[in-house]
Chains A and B, each alone.
Chain A
Amino acid sequence: GSSRGSAMDLFGDLRRMNKRQLYYQVLNFAMIVSSALMIWKGLIVVTGSESPIVVVLSGSMEPAFHRGDLLFLTNFHDDPIRAGEIVVFKVEGRDIPIVHRVIKVHEKGNGNIKFLTKGDNNEVDDRGLYKEGQNWLEKKDVVGRARGFLPYVGMVTIIMNDYPKFKYALLAVMGAYVLLKRES
């Protein structure tokens, strides 16, 4: 049978691969991972945002954004926060970034800004989402301003989050591919 034959071939390959080749493949893999991390860090520096790419998790900004859409953020210090802008913020003490629109801004002469947000698709503003007793957001709560967007692409991370088995399967396949791939 051909399928049983190729499984035997695979094990044969693994045994025949000597230590040097294995180290080479592992280093190759490590280099790919490092490059990806460097690109991500570079994006963080260039955009000024701790999380320059985020996935939309809820339908509170429909019909503009849907769950699974990808947003590209910047967070330049000198960019003022203005009504109408789409901001991604985190409530103090929570990890989940929220993507909503600024509907009220009050800025003092010294640059101190406090603002209120609301999801386009929500009836009420976000005061219910903020911390107990907190009525406004401040610059420090902002992860970034949404500057660009790609639909659907972020669905992969949502699926991996909701179905961990899928994530492990994907990692296993990727690991196997990298380790067994032959350079000709």
Chain B
Amino acid sequence: LRKNLEDFTGPRERSDLGFVTFDITADILDGKSDLQSIFDWNVKQLFLYLSAEYSTKNNALNQVVLWDKVMLRGDNPKLFLKDMKSKYFFFDDGNGLKGNRNVTLTLSWNVVPNAGILPLVTGSGHVSVPFPDTYETTKSY
């Protein structure tokens, strides 16, 4: 699973708001590590989500879900998303995005069975997004 992205921050009242665009690719590498192999007889759907994780002065750990998608059994299991904007506002609790070099994006999914356990799985492959030191006032999103 690979992600590429560009980003900038804009000032919003008292909290930093981050803007991220990303690509998500889930493809067949060796026939085993793709999403299709997760859909066995007891899997009803996958709830996929892209989350950003980082630390700030204010908070030791922050996690923000930027994007999510429901993939039902039978849907096309290949993901080739390019230039996606985040579905939800990427607000920090404070001003910890400015100059933050260590924001990591990870793709995870919740396996929803027809009946049984509900596991949360994190995909392998995560990408670091460094945020610039200044606020962006001219770019539009």
Name the segment of B1-9, B19-27, B28-36, B60-68 touching the other chain: B60-68
Please pick, from B59, B72, B115, B116, the residue contacting A63 in the complex, using a CB distance under 8 A. B72
| Complex interface: chain B residues within 8 A of A65 (CB) | 112
Task: Count how many chain A residues have C-beta atoms less than 8 Å from C-beta atoms of the other chain.
Answer: 25
Bound-state CA distance A48–B49 (Å) is: 28
Name the segment of A31-39, A146-154, A173-181 touching the other chain: A146-154
Bound-state CA distance A82–B108 (Å) is: 12
Do the beta carbons of A105 and B115 come within 8 Å of each other? no
- CB of B113 closer than 8 Å to a CB of A: yes
Bound-state CA distance A105–B52 (Å) is: 10
Q: How many A-B residue pairs have CB under 8 A?
A: 74
With both chains docked as a complex, state the minimum distance between the C-beta of B60 and any C-beta of chain A, in angstroms: 4
- CB of B134 closer than 8 Å to a CB of A: no
With both chains docked as a complex, state the minimum distance between the C-beta of B89 and any C-beta of chain A, in angstroms: 10
Do the beta carbons of A149 and B72 come within 8 Å of each other? no
Do the beta carbons of B45 and A63 come within 8 Å of each other? yes
Name the segment of A5-13, A14-22, A83-91, A161-169 touching the other chain: A83-91
With both chains docked as a complex, state the minimum distance between the C-beta of A81 and any C-beta of chain B, in angstroms: 9
- CB of A41 closer than 8 Å to a CB of B: no
Q: Which of A120-154 contact B (CB under 8 A)?
A: 120, 125, 146-151
Bits for B102-123, please: 1 = Cβ < 8 Å to A, else 0: 0000001010111111101000
Do the beta carbons of B60 and A148 come within 8 Å of each other? no
Bound-state CA distance A150–B118 (Å) is: 10
Do the beta carbons of A82 and B114 come within 8 Å of each other? no
Do the beta carbons of B114 and A84 come within 8 Å of each other? no
Do the beta carbons of A84 and B117 come within 8 Å of each other? no
Bound-state CA distance A146–B63 (Å) is: 19
CB-nearest residue of chain B relative to A135? B93
Do the beta carbons of A149 and B115 come within 8 Å of each other? yes
Do the beta carbons of B93 and A149 come within 8 Å of each other? no
- CB of B44 closer than 8 Å to a CB of A: yes
- Whether A103 touches B115, Cβ cut-off 8 Å, given contacts A63-B45, A83-B51, is no
| Complex interface: chain A residues within 8 A of B120 (CB) | 82, 84-85
Do the beta carbons of B62 and A107 come within 8 Å of each other? yes
Bound-state CA distance A150–B126 (Å) is: 33
| Complex interface: chain A residues within 8 A of B62 (CB) | 105-107
| Complex interface: chain B residues within 8 A of A82 (CB) | 63, 120
With both chains docked as a complex, state the minimum distance between the C-beta of B59 and any C-beta of chain A, in angstroms: 5
Bound-state CA distance A146–B120 (Å) is: 11
| Complex interface: chain B residues within 8 A of A101 (CB) | 47, 110
With both chains docked as a complex, state the minimum distance between the C-beta of B72 and any C-beta of chain A, in angstroms: 7
- CB of A77 closer than 8 Å to a CB of B: no
Supply 6 A–B pairs (Cβ within 8 Å), ascending by A: A63-B45, A82-B120, A85-B120, A86-B118, A105-B61, A120-B47
Nearest 6 pairs between A and B by C-beta?
A83-B63, A105-B63, A103-B65, A109-B60, A107-B61, A106-B93
